[in-house]
Amino acid sequence: MPSVRESLKERGVDVARLRTEGSQFPKSLSFSNSTSPVVLTNYLDTQYYGEIGIGTPPQTFKVIFDTGSANLWVPSTKCSPLYTACEIHSLYDSSETSSYMENGTEFTIHYGSGKVKGFLSQDMVTVGGITVTQTFGEVTELPLIPFMLAKFDGVLGMGFPAQAVGGVTPVFDHILSQRVLKEDVFSVYYSRNSKNSHLLGGEIVLGGSDPQYYQGNFHYVSISKTGSWQIKMKGVSVRSTTLLCEEGCMVVVDTGASYISGPTSSLRLLMETLGAKELSTDEYVVNCNQVPTLPDISFHLGGKAYTLTSADYVLQGKPLCFLPGPLQ
């Protein structure tokens, strides 16, 4: 099978020109031994998304950078008219890009809140000024719930190749293969500036981290399952008493999730301790006036306790405030 470069040349496409045009999105450029930041927008402290470009010239999409999955997908102009959620999002149009390569393999990706279906395609993808040739999903079936309420268009999976549907190499792995980053790492910062969605909502940094968002040194925790951002937790404590995961348990670091989640029975015990009430929607709430009096919650990871205050773990509303919920 010919390489993508060979196939493009056979079609008379100037590969060097494609890379030049693709690198024009966004304005920041990346060089060897550098970092590439992508600014994120925060919507109501539940959705954090940044812009990428697909195609030549680049078509712009807002995506969630999700460590819980490994595929990139965006809605397609071929989306079925039965799925009205597609109508409010940016749609990828393969006829408007000179670097498009047909694939056609069908795929389905399952999430906790639903699933998307479509077919695979290939094009130039630009993230943080770095352009790679990428196989991605054109989604043709986008369910009303939750995507009618989503401010983002698609998902860029930051998971491992073993998680990828269709045997696709993830975007970040392609970026690593170019050896343009300072380090083979990425970091994520989420803000709580939800009152004004136009303020900096966060940042994902490819190749390093941004010291303006933290103090001290990083403490590393080994992943417990090859091919997944899963780590071992030694317990969850409230007021120095370990309530959950007393014998140790496995947890997943999922940047695509809106909340801290857990098994229903465990969350019920924690919420009872906090004095929260359960709604018919399986959500837990407290009166917002109670928030300052709620205790800290500590998560024990890698020999350290990571403590969240009530301001950290409560999602502000009015007059009710929401707390972590059960796994779906």
pLDDT in tens, 127-181: 999 999 999 999 999 988 888 889 999 999 999 999 999 999 999 999 999 999 9
Report the CATH superfamily, name and number, of domain 4-211. Answer: Acid Proteases (2.40.70.10)
Going 254 to 33 to 29 to 136, the CA torsion angle's sign is negative
Question: What one-character DSSP code corresponds to residue 94?
Answer: G
What pLDDT digit, counting tens, does each position of 61-102 carry?
A: 999 999 999 999 999 999 988 888 999 999 999 999 999 999
Q: How far apart are CA 109 and CA 74, in angstroms?
A: 12
Contact 54, 124 (CB under 8 A): yes
Residue 64: both structure tokens together: 């969630």
Contact 65, 55 (CB under 8 A): no
Q: Report residue 244 CA to chain centroid gap.
A: 27
Q: How far apart are CA 246 and CA 318, in angstroms?
A: 34
* Residues forming beta bridges with residue 251, ordered by sequence position: 231
Backbone angles phi, psi at 142, to 5 degrees: -120, 105
Residue 16: both structure tokens together: 């060097």
Contact 256, 250 (CB under 8 A): no
Annotated active-site residue 254? The verdict is: yes
Give me the pLDDT at residue 167, please: 93
Contact 120, 168 (CB under 8 A): yes
Architecture of domain 219-326: Beta Barrel (2.40)
Q: How far apart are CA 269 and CA 248, in angstroms?
A: 17
Residue 127: both structure tokens together: 């993230």
Give me the pLDDT at residue 155, please: 96
Residues in the chain: 328
Which residues touch 27 (CB under 8 Å, ≥6 apart)? Answer: 129
Q: How far apart are CA 327 and CA 251, in angstroms?
A: 12
Q: How far apart are CA 316 and CA 321, in angstroms?
A: 5
Annotated active-site residue 66? The verdict is: yes
**Active-site choice (66, 93, 173, 210):** 66
**Active-site choice (45, 123, 153, 254):** 254
Residues of the chain falling short of pLDDT 50: 1-13, 15-31, 194, 197
Give me the pLDDT at residue 111, please: 81
Angle (nearest 5°) at CA 177 between 176 and 183: 35
For the chain, which residues make up each domain, given as ranges?
A: 4-211, 219-326
Q: How far apart are CA 325 and CA 322, in angstroms?
A: 9
Q: How far apart are CA 173 and CA 311, in angstroms?
A: 36
Note whether 4-211 and 219-326 share their fold. yes
What DSSP element (H or E) covers 169?
Answer: none
Give me the pLDDT at residue 136, please: 98
Which residues touch 12 (CB under 8 Å, ≥6 apart)? Answer: none
